[in-house]
Amino acid sequence: MQLETQPLQLKLSTPFRIARGVEEIADNLLVTLSHDGLSGYGEAAPSAYYGETATTVSACLERFARELGDDPFLIADILERLDHVIGRNPAAKAAIDMALYDLVGKLLNLPLYRLLGLNPARSALTSFTIGLDTPEHMAEKAARAQDYPILKIKVGTRHDVENVRAIRAVSQATLRVDANAGWSVKEAIRTINALAEYGIEFVEQPIAPGDLEGLRLLRQQIPVPIIVDESCVSLEDIPRLAGCVDGINIKLMKCGGISHALKMIHTARAHHLQVMLGCMIESSLAITAAAHLTPLVDYADLDGNLLIDNDPFCGVRVIQGKLILPERPGLGVVPRVHTGGENDKQGVV
């Protein structure tokens, strides 16, 4: 198999602010794997928080190109070789992994969900994210997102209650809040109990990732479930989280791709944990790869492609929040034809 890479710079429609920073451009990479006249595509969305950049991903992919072999069906063997070559670097491995699944699906003329034996009718509703801003601007964004029945509200500041109150005043959507580890335990107890008045469904990553005892204490003191993101990076994190939280957020870019995500889903179920599939700022390529797995999970937060202006691909569609999986082979993603019209973009900000 031949591997090619190229930059994939994604421009956010508006600066995207969370508790630990702001993002305007996502420097991703596109991977193309060619075999037997067909091409499979993958995307890496590196996060500095997890120790990856576009430069480190590019270096990893260059090294991985020599380890792919000639049989794209041997996905488990290929990924095992990559783990031996370079540890960690999950976004680089996720790009290879999804490109392999895309290629195999095309060789078999099957969409990924059929390849995995999943029912597309059971795909999840995705939330739509409202980044940190003033209460007025957050409420305005929420009002414009009326086509999405679930909103994820970024929190982790001194103004969280004011922000959520402003959003609830203009929206009857289901509200989830995500602090990105922005609170101390005491702040989390106080703030979440105040936010519960506005009918939030759950809170995501309220406190620092390594504070398991804090999560256990917090869970006893609040009336809503806790889903963790930064606390759960890989398969090995799941057993220690059982009893501390109610669920985990799996991202292809954190865990290393579709293969690892499937293992994490089943392991979480064995530990009686709920599962959400999340994302970084990604194009429709990586978002669609994750969307194919949503028939297996409870929640989805797959809106990274809806937050950008220059999505180069078409894949999964969103209708009233429902993820509609493509029926084309593999991931089912094709290049987007940019006409300058309103159909070029599915999201609102």
Q: Give the model's confidence band at 344: pLDDT under 50 very low, under 70 low, under 90 confident, else very high.
A: very low
When pLDDT is averaged across residues 118-123 and rounded to a whole number, the result is 98
Domain ranges of the chain: 2-109, 115-344
Q: Is 178 a catalytic residue?
A: yes
Q: Considering 141, 154, 282, 301, which one is annotated as catalytic?
A: 154
Q: Considering 178, 230, 282, 303, which one is annotated as catalytic?
A: 178
Instruction: Give residue-wise pLDDT tens across range 286-326.
Output: 999 999 999 999 999 999 999 999 999 999 999 999 999 99
Q: Considering 97, 251, 254, 301, which one is annotated as catalytic?
A: 251
Provide the pLDDT for residue 321.
97
Provide the pLDDT for residue 346.
41
CATH number 3.20.20.120 is the correct assignment for the domain at 115-344:
yes
Q: Is-contact 332 41, C-beta < 8 A?
A: no
Half-sphere exposure of 227 (CA within 13 A, CB side): 23
**Nearest Cα to Cα of residue 71 among 109, 33, 111, 116:** 33
Q: Is 204 a catalytic residue?
A: yes
Half-sphere exposure of 47 (CA within 13 A, CB side): 21
Q: Is-contact 25 12, C-beta < 8 A?
A: yes
Instruction: Give residue-wise pLDDT tens across range 3-30.
Output: 999 999 999 998 888 887 888 999 999 9
- How many beta carbons lie within 10 A of that of residue 248, not counting itself? 26
- The CA distance from 14 to 237, in Å, is 33
Provide the pLDDT for residue 338.
57
Q: Is 254 a catalytic residue?
A: no
The structure's pTM equals 0.94
When pLDDT is averaged across residues 153-169 and rounded to a whole number, the result is 97
Q: Which residue has the tokens 């292809």?
A: 252
Instruction: Give residue-wise pLDDT tens across range 260-281.
Output: 999 999 999 999 999 999 999 9
CATH number of 2-109: 3.30.390.10
Q: Cα–chain-centroid distance for residue 81?
A: 25
pLDDT surpassing 50 at residue 343: no
Q: Considering 43, 52, 160, 229, which one is annotated as catalytic?
A: 229
Provide the pLDDT for residue 337.
81
When pLDDT is averaged across residues 54-77 and rounded to a whole number, the result is 97
